[in-house]
Amino acid sequence: MMGPMSAAQPRSVQHPSPPVTPSWVPGVLVGLLGSLVLGVAMFTPGFLPTTSPVFGLLPIPLQTGQTAVVVGVLLSVLGWLLLRPEMCSTRPINSWSVLGLWALPLLFVPPVMSNDPYLYADQAWTVQQGANPYLVGLSALPGPYSDQVDGVWQGSTAVYPALHLITTWLAAGVTGFHPYWGVVAMRLPAVLGVVLLGLCLPRLARAAGVAVGPARWFCLLNPIVVVHQLGGAHNDALMVGLVAAALWWAVAGRWPLLGAPVLLGLAVAVKQPAALAGLGIALLIVQRLHHSSVDPDWRGWSAVVADARRCLLPVAVTAAVSILTLVAVSYALGFGLGWLYSLSTPGSVPSPAPVSVLTQLGVPGAVALWLGRFVLAALVIGLLIRYGSRDPWRVLVGTMLALALTGAVLHGWYLAWGVCFFALARFGPMAERALVTVMILMLVYLSMAEYIGIIPLLAQALIGFAVAIVLVQAAYVWPAFAGRMPISPPRADPA
C-alpha cells in the first residue's frame, strides 16, 4: 500500500515571477534619449554663431552634429508614439513628470534648430538701451548679441507686438544680459506658455467631453511642444498658453465676454496669429450662454442663419475687447504698433509653405499670397457654416491649422497653433492620422532640409514622408505598438 502523496513526492519549488517592466518605460526612455542627443548636437559649431561663448566647447564634427539632429528628432517622435497606449489608458502616467524629463536636456543648451532666440535677445538689448525695436534694426546697437544675429535678419526691425518685447527683455534681464545665458533665458516665456497650456488642458478636455490622458499626450507631450516650443524657445509657446487661458475663461470663468477677450488680446500682443483663435473663443462663449451642447450634425441653412444671428454680438464684442486690449498694452508699454510696417519680413524666407512653394515655382509672389488668403477665407467660412456654435472646438482647431498652412511661410512650430488643441475637436481617427503624419513629416524633413544639404530637397521630403507613414501605421495599427484604446474614443457629453 502506497503512502500519502505528500510523503512520496517532493514539493515543487515555487520560483518568483520576474518583475514586469511598466508599459511607460520604453517611451519615456526613448524620448529622453532623443532630447539628450538633440541637446548635445546643439553644441556643434554648425548650430552656433562663431561669437557664442560656447562655440567650440564640445569638439563634435559638423557632420556628426547634423546627423545627430535627425536621430534625436526621430527618437523624440518614437518616444512620443510609444507612450501613446499608456497615456490613453484609464490610469495614465503623470504628464508633468514626462514633460519635465523630456524637456530638461533642452532647457540649458543653445537654441534647438532655431536662430529666433538670438533675435529676441538682441531686441531685448535694444529695449535695455532705451530704443524702440520697431525703429532700430537688429544688430544696430553694439551689445552682447549683435554679432550673434543671423546675417539674413541684421537690420530688420521687430515684427512681434509689445508684450513679446517686454517678456524677452525681462527674461534677458534676469541674467544681466549675459551673452550666453541671456539667449538661453528666452526659454522662460516659452516655459510659462507651456505650463499655462498644461494647467488649462484638464478643464478644457472635460468641457469638450474628452479624456484628459489622451488630450495631454496629443496636445502637451508632442515633439513640436518639446523640441520646438521649449527647445527652440519660440514665442508661439507663450501665445498658445495665453490662448489656452482664454479658452478656459470662456468655458469656466466669470464674465466670459470680458475675461476671455482680454486674455486673447494679451495672446495677440505676444504674436499676431492668436487673433484668429477669437472665433473659437467667441463661439464657446455663445455655446455657454445659450446652454447648447456639442452637435456637429448639419441642421440646414435656416439653422445656420439662426446660429449666425446668435453669434454676431459675442463675436463683435470679443473682437472689440481683444483689439482694445492689444492697443492698450502696446501703448502702455511704450512701443506702439510699429510691427505693422514689418510684417512682410518673415515671408521673404523660402519655406515648405504651399504659398512659398508656388512662388519658388514661378508664380508671382502677390498672386500666391492672395491665393493663400482666399483658401484661408474659404476654409474658415466653411467651418463656420458646417459647425458654428454647435462645435466651437472644430472651428478653433480648423482655423488655426488653416492659418498655419496657408501663410507665406511655414515652420514646424507653426503647427502648434492647432496641434495643441487638436484632441479637443474630435475630428476622427483619419484626421488624427493625417495630422500626426504631417507633424512627423515636418519634423523629419526640416531636421534634414536645413542641415543636410548633400541630399536633394525632394529626396528629403520623400524620406520624411516615408518615415511618417511607417511610424503612423505602427502607432495606429500594430497592436503591440498601438495598444487597444484610440486617441479619439467616442465623444462624451461635456462635463
Q: Which residues contact 37 (CB under 8 A, 6 or more apart)?
A: 68, 71, 72, 75
Q: What is the pLDDT at residue 392? A: 93
Q: What is the pLDDT at residue 297? A: 62
Is 246 within 8 Å of 277 (Cβ atoms)? Answer: yes
pLDDT tens-digit series, residues 413-465: 999 999 999 999 988 888 888 898 888 888 888 887 665 555 566 666 777 77
Q: Which residues contact 449 (CB under 8 A, 6 or more apart)?
A: 352, 457, 460, 461
Cα–Cα distance for residue pair 360/378, rounded to 1 Å:
24
Is 404 within 8 Å of 437 (Cβ atoms)? Answer: no
Q: What is the pLDDT at residue 353? A: 81
Phi/psi zone of residue 199: left (φ > 0), alpha (ψ -120 to 50 degrees), beta? alpha
Q: What is the pLDDT at residue 455? A: 57
CB atoms under 10 Å from CB of 431, counted, come to 16
Cα–Cα distance for residue pair 482/302, rounded to 1 Å:
43
* Cα angle for residues 316, 320, 324 (degrees, 5° grid): 175
Place of cell 519549488: 13
Q: What is the pLDDT at residue 451? A: 58
Q: Which residues contact 27 (CB under 8 A, 6 or more apart)?
A: 79, 80, 81, 82, 83, 84, 86
Residue from 68, 150, 120, 151 nearest 451 by CA = 68
Q: Which residues contact 436 (CB under 8 A, 6 or more apart)?
A: 468, 472, 475
pTM summary value: 0.88
Q: Which residues contact 94 (CB under 8 A, 6 or more apart)?
A: none
Cα–Cα distance for residue pair 239/190, rounded to 1 Å:
9
Place of cell 470680458: 258
Q: What is the pLDDT at residue 219? A: 94
Is 297 within 8 Å of 391 (Cβ atoms)? Answer: no
Sign of CA dihedral 186, 167, 101, 204: negative
What is the DSSP secondary structure assignment for residue 471, as one 8-state letter? H
Residue from 105, 84, 82, 89 nearest 32 by CA = 105
Chain center to CA of 408: 18
Is 460 within 8 Å of 172 (Cβ atoms)? Answer: no
Cα–Cα distance for residue pair 490/392, rounded to 1 Å:
18
Q: What is the pLDDT at residue 345? A: 61
Cα–Cα distance for residue pair 216/214, rounded to 1 Å:
5
Chain center to CA of 238: 10
Residues in the chain: 495
Place of cell 521649449: 230
Cα–Cα distance for residue pair 83/25, rounded to 1 Å:
8
Chain center to CA of 437: 15
Residue from 101, 102, 96 nearest 76 by CA = 102
* Cα angle for residues 330, 241, 471 (degrees, 5° grid): 135
Low-confidence spans in the chain with pLDDT less than 70: 1-22, 291-299, 344-350, 449-460, 477-495
First CA to last CA distance, the chain: 73
Residue from 40, 165, 23 nearest 108 by CA = 40
- Cα Rg of the chain (Å, integer): 25
pLDDT tens-digit series, residues 197-229: 999 999 999 999 899 998 999 999 999 999 999
Cα–Cα distance for residue pair 115/232, rounded to 1 Å:
8
DSSP-derived secondary structure for 41-95: HTTSGGGS-TTSTTTTSS---HHHHHHHHHHHHHHHHHHHHHTHHHHTSSSPPPH
